[in-house]
A and B are shown apart, each in its own frame.
Chain A
Amino acid sequence: MKHMGKKKKWFKGQVLTVLPLYLFTLLFVLGPMIYMVVLSFLTRAETWGILPELTLKNYQDIGEPIYLKTFWESIKLAVVSTLLIVAIGYPFGYFMAKLTGKWKKRVTMLLMIPFWTSSLIRLYGWIIIFRAGGVLDKLLNALHVTEEPLKLLYTYPAVVVGMVYALLPFMIFAVYSSAEKLDFSLVEAARDLGASPWKAFLTVTLKLTLPGLLSGVVLTFVPSMGLFFIADILGGNKVILVGNLIQDQLMKAHNWPFAASLSVILLALTSVMIYLYRKISGVKELEGLV
């Protein structure tokens, strides 16, 4: 009996400790989410605010060709960026895991340092590189590759570069944490048993680092659908993402219910991504985050 009481007491203490965290999550994560979902079914008022009338109009509006196109463009940009990030980030993370301890730390440091600066300021750095008469323009001119001033800024490639630059570290760290756990003797065993280097990579290395790779894909694909400020700053606002659309509906048209319904769809797309990740990799947590 006495023992039970102690256990109960301990349990109470545990609850008390985590209670604020749960409250915080309920209040500031679940609360706004419910609010958003409810809002997405309401009617907008004429100039400002909302009317408490249920409607499906906001979801029907997403079916307008121009808004579907925005989703499609967002996904396209996310796919292009993610593919490039995989192409650069996977080998980077893989070979980083093979470095000696000292160098691992140094490379990690080098990857981390830029994070201490605001991402906005780092993006402005790209403007200096890309703009007419900027660093890249002058360099290419001096090397006689180009004669005329280039128009690199405010183009689609500039946006892709910005996306890749901003999200690459997430892929590198995800792959790295997976590759570090990889037992290289397994690769050696495969080679001993007659597998070609390519086959050994595909059947052993890739398979074992897949959770890292996929988690990297989720961590880069999902944000790249919403990082509208990159499209704004480097794309001159001409590449519209779902993020821009939501912002415009909120701040310009004051159509909060429509913005909410767009957000709900974006949230659903994101959830599908994470569901697929768990299904394919069989891992519950995103690699590289914990």
Chain B
Amino acid sequence: MKKFFACALALLLAVPFFAGCQSKTGESAVGNGQLNLYTWEGMFPQEVLDGFTEETGIKLNYVNFDTDETMLSKLEAAEGGDYDVIIADDYIIETAISEGLVQKLEKEKIPNFKNINPVYQGQFYDPQDEYTVPYGAGVQTIVYDPARVDLTITGYEDLWDQGLKGEVGIIGSTRVIDGMALKVLGESYNTEDPEKIKAAGEKLLELAPNIRLIKDDNLQDDLISGEVSAAVMYTSQVTTAKLTNPELQVVYPKEGIGFGVMAQFIPAKAPNAEAAYRFIDYILRPEISVQCFEYMGYYCTNKEADSLISEEYREFLTLPEDFQAEDMEMIGNISAEAWDEHMKVWNEFKAACG
């Protein structure tokens, strides 16, 4: 009897293992007419997703990740299978493509491919536009409250002004912030020269006294509540900030704009690539795109949708009239040594802020 109990207990304790295995296979098992969409939370308004299922009869299985890194690890583990459409950031897509985890697009299956704004095409992660369809772009801009800032901010350089002591909030993106100093010094975001990165670090140390906080999530709240009076932030945060307080000023830094693109791609062994094509094409329709971009608050990458964006959002979801393509630079992958240098600069900068 005792033995029986021992065995039963042993089995009971082992159950979670098998339960774990089972749910895993359950997740990847795809029936006909199911699309496995893998991206961050909150990337699509529910109506758009429902509309797709209604029109095509394809059921959507929306799976979330928190970070690009998690996505790549999972995609590696699945050897490019399990998922049909993935939306992630540019730099990680470059890595995924180099590992052979992404399949080339058959463009004749995406008639709406022509709607993509060419500004966002041919970038470093996919120079021939063979693998990806952009889905929203983010630009790091300066936003400030003119009521509490005496000077007129026109570029990154103005953030170094002594009048802003303890008044600036920035996002916690190493490359964007180090890049700010690089830009002020007239360098590229993607320089791999350790000396130039070091020089940017020196420059950043002078900015430290002005920094009140560094954070990625909801930085706009601190600008709205008055904790900081100027901030460098992501596009979606700018959108929220502007919608809450229209008095805020958005600045496209005169040193140039750094931007990032989120893009859709089909993994190499997608179980249901046909559904993936239908989804990508559906999302590229201007009237669908416009709903997505207004919902996400990212720059519209669909040229045909630009004119449909409502007045309220147009200012911060479409590029300014006088926009020059050469004013912007994407933040791409850099060598390991360059990264080491960036991390040192970043840590020294953070320590100097404290």
Q: Please list the residues of chain A having a beta carbon within 8 angstroms of any beta carbon in chain B.
A: 9-10, 12-14, 16-17, 19-21, 24, 44-48, 61, 64, 66-67, 69-70, 73, 131-133, 149, 151, 153-154, 156, 232, 235-240, 245, 248-255
Stretch at the interface among B257-265, B305-313, B333-341: B333-341
Please tell me which one of the listed residues B7, B10, B226, B336 contacts residue A132 in the complex, with CB atoms under 8 A apart. Answer: B226
Report the nearest A residue to B96, measured CB to CB: A48
A236 and B174 in contact (CB under 8 A), knowing A20-B14, A47-B333, A255-B339? Answer: no
Determine the chain B residues whose CB is within 8 A of the CB of A232 once the complex forms.
215
Q: Which of A21, A47, A238, A255 contacts B214 (CB under 8 A)?
A: A238
The answer to whether B6 touches A253 (Cβ under 8 A) is no
Which residues of chain B from 17 to 52 have a CB within 8 Å of any chain A CB? none
Bits for B44-83, please: 1 = Cβ < 8 Å to A, else 0. 0000000000000000000000010100100000000000
Q: How far is the CA of A81 from the CA of B214 in the complex (A)?
A: 23
Find out whether the CB atom of B13 lies under 8 angstroms from the CB atom of A21.
yes
A69 to B95, CA, bound (A): 33
Bound Cα distance from A149 to B226, whole angstroms: 10
| Chain B interface residue bracket vs A | 35 or more
Determine if A238 and B353 form an interchain contact, defined as CB atoms under 8 angstroms apart: yes
Residue numbers in B under 8 Å from A250 (CB-CB): 69
Is the CB–CB distance between B351 and A255 below 8 Å?
Answer: no
Q: What residues make up the interface of B, taking CB atoms closer than 8 Å to A?
A: 2-3, 5-7, 9-10, 13-14, 67, 69, 72, 94-95, 98-99, 166, 169, 172, 174, 211-215, 225-227, 333, 335-336, 339-340, 342-344, 346-348, 350-351, 353-354
Bound-state CA distance A44–B10 (Å) is 40
Q: How far is the CA of A236 from the CA of B6 in the complex (A)?
A: 52
Asked whether B343 lies within 8 Å of A249 as measured between CB atoms, the reply is: yes
Smallest CB-CB separation from B226: which chain A residue? A132
- In contact, A73 and B347 (Cβ under 8 angstroms): no
When A132-B225, A238-B350 are in contact, do A251 and B213 touch as well, CB less than 8 Å? Answer: no
Known contacts A47-B95, A240-B347: A235-B354 contact under CB 8 Å: yes
Does A20 contact B174, Cβ atoms closer than 8 Å?
A: no
Contact of A238 among B9, B335, B354 (CB under 8 A): B354
